[in-house]
Amino acid sequence: EIGFGYGQNLRYLSQQQPDAHIVGLEISNVCLVKAEGAIARGETPNVRVVFARAEHALHHLFTPASLDAVHINFPDPWFKSRHEHRRLMKRETVDILVNRMKPGALLHLATDILEYAEMSAEVLADTPGLTNQLDTPWVNTLPGRVQTKYEKKAQRVGRSCYYFALQRNEQPG
């Protein structure tokens, strides 16, 4: 999971897939400490967390076709144009992400920012290595999700959420 926040989804993934090796990437020390505490208490024995920007971790920690799934929940939209280079869902990052995913691997993205959803939809639609699993670029509800801190906050203040589900296909990444 990229940007796991307080780790609700990491805990869910750990419980649902006890034989999987789950890696969480995060740049917030507060979030890392919370996740490390859960690991130390034995709540998430198959989870490891890494303090790293996703772009760097994808390039240096994972080999091509090594990821079974990628979860990106409510990434920072970096609204200011001078911060645009920090946005996660951009061509360079999506390309390395696709390269690191195994054929058949799933990519789950959630955001509560319409502009970010639109930008992501455009980048993802232009990615030959991914096949949309939905009838539309995104949906506003996705049953079976564990709600994250940011998702609950968005819904509490009345913002819509946008959920993406894509699968890595056989095209070269």
Stated length of the chain: 173
Is 172 or 173 the better-scoring residue by pLDDT?
Answer: 172
pLDDT of residue 81: 66
Tell me if 10 sits within 8 A of 44, measured CB to CB: yes
CA distance 78 to 87: 6
Would you state the structure tokens that stand for residue 101, as one six-digit string? 């995913």
Q: Are 107 and 168 in contact (CB under 8 A)?
A: yes
4-57 pLDDT, tens per residue? 988 999 999 999 999 999 999 999 999 999 999 999 999 999 999 999 999 999
Structure tokens at 143: 């049953």
**Distance of alpha carbon 38 from the chain centroid:** 20
The strands making up 162-168's β-sheet, listed across from edge to edge, are 67-73, 101-111, 162-168, 130-132
What does the pLDDT read at residue 78? Answer: 59
Confidence of residue 76 (pLDDT cuts 50, 70, 90): confident
pTM more than 0.85: yes
Q: What is the mean pLDDT of residues 103-117?
A: 95
Q: What does the pLDDT look like over 119-168, one tens digit per residue? A: 999 999 999 999 999 999 999 999 888 888 889 999 999 999 999 999 99
Smallest CA-to-CA distance from 88 within 103, 105, 99, 72 is with: 72
**What's the confidence (pLDDT) of residue 82?**
64
Confidence of residue 90 (pLDDT cuts 50, 70, 90): very high
Q: Which of 19, 68, 76, 95 is catalytic?
A: 76
Angle at 23 between CA 120 and CA 107, to 5 degrees: 30
**135 in active site:** no
> Is the pLDDT reported for residue 79 higher than 70?
no
CB–CB of 151/130 below 8 Å? no
